Chain A
Amino acid sequence: MTGLFHFANLVRAGIRDNQLLWMLVAGFALFPLFTHFADLPFWNDVAMRIMLLGVAAMGLNLVLGYGGMVSFGHAAFIGIGAYCVGISQFFGLSNGLFHILLSIGVCGALGLVIGYLALRTTGIYFIMITLAFAQMLFFLFVSLEQFGGDDGMSIDRADFLIIDLYEPLRLYFLIWVALALVALLLMFIVRSRFGVTLRAIKSNESRIEAMGLVPLHFKITSYVISAMICGLAGTLFASWQEYVSPDIMHWTRSGELMIIIILGGIGTLAGPLLGAIVFLLLEEFLPVALGAVAPAYAENWMILFGPLLIMVVLFGRGGLVGLLDKAIFSRIFRRRMAVK
């Protein structure tokens, strides 16, 4: 009985989740119009950052939310993607499409190696071994003096085939296209046989094994895909920031991605993007709000942000998607349940 109920829930959640995702993606497409007429060009920059972190979080969510593999090292792939741009430019290769293909290829290969080694462990050991690989790469780039070491290297917004990315709005829509493509890809993956198997492995691995499938293959494949998505986000991140340093792959960024996913709603399509929006808007607005009440403490906004995260855990189960769910949809669905 409960199983059926859960299944029905899942189907409904899937549909709503999907709609929410596309509403958000469409919102980002229209956002520059708003900033143009309201004359707030700064907010385009914020929106780009939200989309970049959103893409990375969506990539991580494939393994974390759908596959149940808590990777604490995905910032490494963002960093590798960003360094693919920096190092290519160092050697005079400035084609943006080449950067994207290179970083997807490198991150895929690296994801395959790290995934293969890390997936020998489970649970907390998996969390820590992914962190270990990320830290190794972090310190590797700190030690590479040739590429700036600790100080990092600056990046030229490349000529992306025929488009010149110095015009910020072009970069905005390049990032938007990446967001939309990743959203589309994830929607297909989650609904495909592969995605269903991945979720089944998350809930009971030995049953899937008993069915004659090899769970490891599915896990590694999803790990590689998510590494590639994070690599793509990193490549665009480097162009956006016009700068790359090992800081981009610091372990706190892996933590940040996890926070964004949990905040938004783990294992949902819209969750990571919603989490990124809320996370970065809080980062923008909390200092302002705190500054209005106690001007001397405006820069200490984390004193509010920390307890806010705790409140989300204590009172809002299932992240923001879950909360929205309760607030908006519960009445409608109670009626539907009654009809059934």
Chain B
Amino acid sequence: MTLTLILEQIFNGLQAGVTLFLVAAGLTLILGIMDFVFLAHGAQVMIGAYAAAAITQATGNFFVGLGLAIPVTFASGYLLELLIIRHLYQRDHMEQVLATFGLILFFNEAIRIGFGPAALYSDLPESISGFVEILPETPYPAYRLGVIAIGLICALAIHLFVSKTRIGAMVRAGANNPEMTAALGINIKILFRLIFATGACLAGVAGMMLGPLTSVQPGMGEPLLILSLVVIIIGGIGSVRGAFIAAIIVGLVDTLGRVFLPSILRLFFEQATADGAGPALASMLVYILMAVVLIFRPTGLFPAKG
């Protein structure tokens, strides 16, 4: 357990954290601000990953794939809102759960029909598959570093957008009191549709960036959906700042737990038991964290309202 390993894992945790934040930020906008329980958010991650992988394969250029996948995910979010979601805002949460669960089934199956059940793997182009020395003699994959950078830039952009711009003010006003905001002459329907599409797009960006790091396959979004729900709950629903901090914490806890828990367990148990139980117990850590936070702060760390 050298310093290099620890540092490397902290960076991996950060990378997982910022990716998680991109998914959670979209969900914060949709669930926290628009109060819509959108379980199919994980499917948007999958759509982004598939769009990027498919366009990369068709054009042979990784960057074209990334660039074109962004408008694709935005368009898919926009269309989804237009066709189905807008009819569901006024329904209660349980009905939203049922309908968006139906959407998950539909999207997963559509992808399975279109691309087959096997996972797609996309290779990184040579130009960004190298290593960068973050400290002397501590190489780190350049692509993961890039993911962290893009994630941080997106986080800053979302924060500035929501808290400093005029549209951001409209979004906050619309969330607080839709009727009053509409009475002030703001087209709340279009506003919500654009927020929804933006949230879908953010999830899509997370999916695209994850593509080369994990396997792209049907149903890949659901574990991320659950984790990002955990994130926005820990952070406090509707708070972008809370979602960011919680995403980093969850990313670090999950990654570091997975790597170091087995070796900590090895101090107390035999190796076979420790290696078997370690990963599963590491997965428990995140949920233990959430339960503890909620027991002591029932509305999360940074509640947005009240």
The B contact surface, by secondary structure, is helix
Near A by CB (< 8 A), chain B positions 263-306 give 272-273, 276-281, 283-284, 287-288, 290-291, 294-295, 298-300
- Chain A: how many interface residues by the 8 Å CB criterion? 43
- Chain B: how many interface residues by the 8 Å CB criterion? 50
CA distance A144 to B110 in the complex (A): 36
Contact A129 B104, beta carbon cutoff 8 Å: no
As a 0/1 sequence over residues 25 to 56 of chain B, the CB contacts with chain A under 8 angstroms (1 = contact) are 00000010000010000000000000000000
Output the nearest chain B residue to A261 by Cβ-Cβ distance.
B94
Known A-B contacts A128-B229, A128-B294; the reply to A313 vs B98 at CB < 8 A is yes
Closest CB-CB distance, A1 to chain B, in whole Å?
23
Closest CB-CB distance, B102 to chain A, in whole Å?
3
Contact A149 B276, beta carbon cutoff 8 Å: yes
For the complex, is B101 an interface residue (Cβ under 8 Å from A)? yes
Indicate which residue in B112, B276, B284 contacts A145 across the interface (CB closer than 8 Å): B276
User: Which B residues touch A143, using CB under 8 A?
Assistant: 276-281, 284
For the complex, is A306 an interface residue (Cβ under 8 Å from B)? yes
Indicate which residue in A125, A140, A251, A310 contacts B103 across the interface (CB closer than 8 Å): A310
CA distance A121 to B237 in the complex (A): 13
Closest CB-CB distance, B250 to chain A, in whole Å?
12
In the assembled complex, 12 residue pairs joining A and B whose CB atoms fall closer than 8 Å, in A order, are A70-B93, A121-B299, A129-B295, A140-B284, A143-B278, A262-B95, A297-B113, A300-B113, A303-B110, A305-B102, A306-B107, A314-B99
Indicate which residue in B88, B95, B102, B280 contacts A142 across the interface (CB closer than 8 Å): B280
For the complex, is A187 an interface residue (Cβ under 8 Å from B)? no
Known A-B contacts A133-B291, A255-B101, A306-B105; the reply to A121 vs B298 at CB < 8 A is yes
User: Which A residues touch B69, using CB under 8 A?
Assistant: none
CA distance A122 to B233 in the complex (A): 12
CA distance A124 to B288 in the complex (A): 17
For the complex, is B109 an interface residue (Cβ under 8 Å from A)? yes
Interface residues of B (CB under 8 A from A): 31, 37, 84, 87-88, 91, 93-99, 101-110, 112-113, 222, 226, 229-230, 233, 237, 272-273, 276-281, 283-284, 287-288, 290-291, 294-295, 298-300
Output the nearest chain A residue to B288 by Cβ-Cβ distance.
A136
User: Which A residues touch B109, using CB under 8 A?
Assistant: 300, 302-303, 306
Contact B102 A310, beta carbon cutoff 8 Å: yes
Indicate which residue in B93, B105, B284 contacts A136 across the interface (CB closer than 8 Å): B284
Contact A125 B294, beta carbon cutoff 8 Å: yes
User: Which A residues touch B113, using CB under 8 A?
Assistant: 297, 300, 303
User: Which B residues touch A302, using CB under 8 A?
Assistant: 105-106, 108-109
Most chain B beta-carbon neighbours within 10 Å: one of A129, A144, A306: A306
Contact A309 B291, beta carbon cutoff 8 Å: no
Closest CB-CB distance, A291 to chain B, in whole Å?
14
Contact B105 A313, beta carbon cutoff 8 Å: no
As a 0/1 sequence over residues 125 to 137 of chain A, the CB contacts with chain B under 8 angstroms (1 = contact) are 1001101110110
Known interface pairs A145-B273, A297-B113, A302-B106; 8 further A-B residue pairs with C-beta atoms within 8 A, sorted by A's residue number? A133-B287, A135-B226, A145-B272, A255-B97, A259-B97, A302-B109, A303-B106, A303-B113
